[in-house]
Chains A and B, each alone.
Chain A
């Protein structure tokens, strides 16, 4: 019902800044789409074009099959939660939530019913008489959510709604947002630069860079098969190790003297082609010296993360990080022999950074 479709959407700001350079994707009804990318990549701009707060330079945005380019934000049947919450400071919490309904001429008792219902869902019933300045950050966040849900919109838009909260509250609200969206069955577009939020919330993940889409997919797929070097290093923490290498034969890359098997490697690549090999720190396994495919890793120092430890050092002369559960590997600087599941070896074109995978 509320499917959102973007086709070749572009945004050129006055002054010539090309913030969004032709983006196309669609979100199914009830889907949760997360736009993630580094600062300045055009996420907010894209979201604001869907909201109608920015004009669309070219391309089309449609909601439920209706092109909305020329339609006022108020008539697009959307609600937005802003990073700074954007509550009306001079109105009570009740009035903040009721404002949108009053503007639409909703009957008074219906307004009261909906506001009470939203307040109950968000557990802010006791705060309805307060002003925004008398609320904590987390409570303001809930009111902002409440203002969005009372209107029963077809699409929720979120622009970094959790970035002003502390780490613990952020995790809690993240779970609540997801639950709420599921329960209401509303289509959602969520902008963040936090990859944990991106991975956990989305069922469609859009990774953006420099105004363009780098990859679209379900989060697990984006994690397992990053489409480019950029996505590979952006998604995953600590970031993926990238090492210069060369093609040695079908399914084999040469990393210095060592040979590494890569199952997802494009065929018919000429031997000697320069590539980059990507290995996630959490995919590294301990091997024994002399085992086939074992690589020597010289550990220089160790970071304690509690449940896991990060081993920093050099592999084939390049900086390298390995992650292991605390206690699995003796924490001391020395030479380790490591190996990687051939399914978890990523190969990228050295120049373009595009994944060299099987079609």
Chain B
């Protein structure tokens, strides 16, 4: 018995692969190689001549305190967004899982933010927290809390963390809910009979059984905060005030904008690329091994 279907010649398989290969080449390998090439070049201020400078762009990058500030911003931003969006989503999912009736409406409402474009999400949060117009900003001020994300770096960081978290919760929620619903009901019931109270049940049974989902989401969320939050930061703070919300990916953009420092910008994007490849590799290794129970 032939177990797998197979093709007699190579032509058809190659034809079938072609669209996918073309897309990968045009949208990934080509720009990536361009970036690598660009990161070795130095342009003069007027863009009239370029020079091959080996690792000079990287050297000046690591000598730039602004780059380390962006690195630190990214660490703060991604830690908070990941922790908040994962834990809030898990809480919502546990609540939705318990309340199966009405869960449909609840689910639909929770999913909406995911469909909102990053720029629009950003605008929404600007309005809510605008120091002179925003309802919530007024509320804060009336409580005696000085709030001005346009001037205060910490306020600005808080605002982008909130906006980015809000947008990511729905995605995480969906995966957590699916994960919860795939835990057999009888396993939970066995734990009930075994005398585990709800909190203990959650930490000793449900949470460990969710760990593959949690780990997958952790990686996806890190990639999200590293790259996908560009739109939110751009609309909400534009990286300011004074670079307080400038993350690595935002710095790639602002340095390369108008061609002022194309080589440096390219070098930064190459470093980001390496980070993502490393994270993905870790994810695959872990998913295959440790998290499997």
Interface: A86 (CB within 8 A): yes
Interface segment out of the listed B132-140, B182-190, B226-234, B262-270: B182-190
Q: How far is the CA of A103 from the CA of B195 in the complex (A)?
A: 6
Interface: B192 (CB within 8 A): yes
CB of A73 within 8 A of CB of B193, answer: yes
| B189 CB contacts on chain A under 8 angstroms | 53, 73, 80, 82, 86
Given contacts A103-B200, A151-B194, could you give 12 more A-B pairs where the C-beta distance is less than 8 Å? Answer: A51-B193, A53-B189, A73-B189, A74-B196, A79-B193, A82-B189, A90-B208, A90-B209, A103-B196, A103-B197, A131-B293, A147-B194
CB of B208 within 8 A of CB of A103, answer: no
Interface: A78 (CB within 8 A): yes
The minimal Cβ–Cβ distance linking A8 to chain B, given in whole angstroms, is 25
Write out, one digit per residue, whether chain A residues 307-339 have a CB within 8 A of any chain B CB (1) or not (0): 000000000000000000000000000000000
| B192 CB contacts on chain A under 8 angstroms | 53, 72-74
| A80 CB contacts on chain B under 8 angstroms | 189-190, 193
Interface: A168 (CB within 8 A): no
| A230 CB contacts on chain B under 8 angstroms | none
Interface: A256 (CB within 8 A): no
Tally chain A residues at the interface, Cβ within 8 Å: 25
| B184 CB contacts on chain A under 8 angstroms | 84, 86
- Beta-carbon contacts under 8 Å, A54-94 to B: 72-75, 78-80, 82-84, 86-90
Q: How far is the CA of A83 from the CA of B189 in the complex (A)?
A: 12
17 pairs across A/B with beta carbons < 8 Å? A72-B192, A73-B193, A74-B192, A74-B193, A78-B193, A80-B193, A82-B190, A83-B186, A84-B184, A88-B187, A89-B293, A90-B293, A99-B204, A100-B193, A104-B195, A147-B190, A147-B194
Q: Which 7 A-B pairs have the closest CB atoms?
A: A100-B194, A90-B293, A74-B195, A86-B186, A103-B195, A86-B190, A82-B186
CB of B194 within 8 A of CB of A74, answer: yes
Interface: B205 (CB within 8 A): yes
- Which of under 10, 10 to 19, 20 to 34, or 35 or more describes the interface residues of B? 10 to 19
| B217 CB contacts on chain A under 8 angstroms | none
Q: How far is the CA of A90 from the CA of B291 in the complex (A)?
A: 10
CB of A88 within 8 A of CB of B205, answer: yes
Interface: B162 (CB within 8 A): no
Interface: B191 (CB within 8 A): yes
Residue numbers of B with Cβ under 8 A of A are 184, 186-187, 189-197, 200, 204-205, 208-209, 293
Q: How far is the CA of A83 from the CA of B196 in the complex (A)?
A: 21
CB of A99 within 8 A of CB of B194, answer: yes
| A73 CB contacts on chain B under 8 angstroms | 189, 192-193
The minimal Cβ–Cβ distance linking A163 to chain B, given in whole angstroms, is 14
| B197 CB contacts on chain A under 8 angstroms | 103
Q: How far is the CA of A276 from the CA of B52 in the complex (A)?
A: 103
Residue numbers of A with Cβ under 8 A of B are 51-53, 72-75, 78-80, 82-84, 86-90, 99-100, 103-104, 131, 147, 151
Q: How far is the CA of A89 from the CA of B205 in the complex (A)?
A: 9
| A51 CB contacts on chain B under 8 angstroms | 193
Q: How far is the CA of A99 from the CA of B204 in the complex (A)?
A: 9
| B209 CB contacts on chain A under 8 angstroms | 89-90
| A103 CB contacts on chain B under 8 angstroms | 194-197, 200
The minimal Cβ–Cβ distance linking A50 to chain B, given in whole angstroms, is 11
| A79 CB contacts on chain B under 8 angstroms | 193
CB of B193 within 8 A of CB of A84, answer: no
The minimal Cβ–Cβ distance linking B126 to chain A, given in whole angstroms, is 44
| B191 CB contacts on chain A under 8 angstroms | 88, 99
The minimal Cβ–Cβ distance linking B74 to chain A, given in whole angstroms, is 34
Q: How far is the CA of A79 from the CA of B196 in the complex (A)?
A: 13
The listed residue (A75, A78, A84, A90) touching B186 by CB distance below 8 A is A84
Among residues of A, the one whose C-beta sits closest to the C-beta of B190 is A86
| B204 CB contacts on chain A under 8 angstroms | 99
Among residues of A, the one whose C-beta sits closest to the C-beta of B209 is A90
The minimal Cβ–Cβ distance linking A184 to chain B, given in whole angstroms, is 18
Among residues of A, the one whose C-beta sits closest to the C-beta of B189 is A53
The minimal Cβ–Cβ distance linking A112 to chain B, given in whole angstroms, is 17
Q: How far is the CA of A147 from the CA of B186 in the complex (A)?
A: 14
| B208 CB contacts on chain A under 8 angstroms | 90
The minimal Cβ–Cβ distance linking B39 to chain A, given in whole angstroms, is 45
| B190 CB contacts on chain A under 8 angstroms | 80, 82, 86-88, 147
CB of B186 within 8 A of CB of A100, answer: no
| A72 CB contacts on chain B under 8 angstroms | 192
Among residues of B, the one whose C-beta sits closest to the C-beta of A48 is B189
Q: How far is the CA of A309 from the CA of B39 in the complex (A)?
A: 88
Q: How far is the CA of A78 from the CA of B192 in the complex (A)?
A: 11
| B293 CB contacts on chain A under 8 angstroms | 89-90, 131
Among residues of A, the one whose C-beta sits closest to the C-beta of B187 is A86
B187, B193, B197, B205: residue with the most chain A Cβ atoms closer than 10 Å: B193
Among residues of B, the one whose C-beta sits closest to the C-beta of A79 is B193
The minimal Cβ–Cβ distance linking A211 to chain B, given in whole angstroms, is 22
Q: How far is the CA of A75 from the CA of B187 in the complex (A)?
A: 18
A73, A75, A88, A147: residue with the most chain B Cβ atoms closer than 10 Å: A88
The minimal Cβ–Cβ distance linking B101 to chain A, given in whole angstroms, is 8
| B186 CB contacts on chain A under 8 angstroms | 82-84, 86
| A90 CB contacts on chain B under 8 angstroms | 208-209, 293
The minimal Cβ–Cβ distance linking A212 to chain B, given in whole angstroms, is 26
| B205 CB contacts on chain A under 8 angstroms | 88
Q: How far is the CA of A83 from the CA of B184 in the complex (A)?
A: 12
Q: How far is the CA of A80 from the CA of B194 in the complex (A)?
A: 9
| A74 CB contacts on chain B under 8 angstroms | 192-196
Q: How far is the CA of A104 from the CA of B195 in the complex (A)?
A: 7
Q: How far is the CA of A66 from the CA of B197 in the complex (A)?
A: 22
Among residues of B, the one whose C-beta sits closest to the C-beta of A95 is B204
Among residues of A, the one whose C-beta sits closest to the C-beta of B204 is A99
| A88 CB contacts on chain B under 8 angstroms | 187, 190-191, 205
Among residues of B, the one whose C-beta sits closest to the C-beta of A157 is B193
| A89 CB contacts on chain B under 8 angstroms | 187, 209, 293
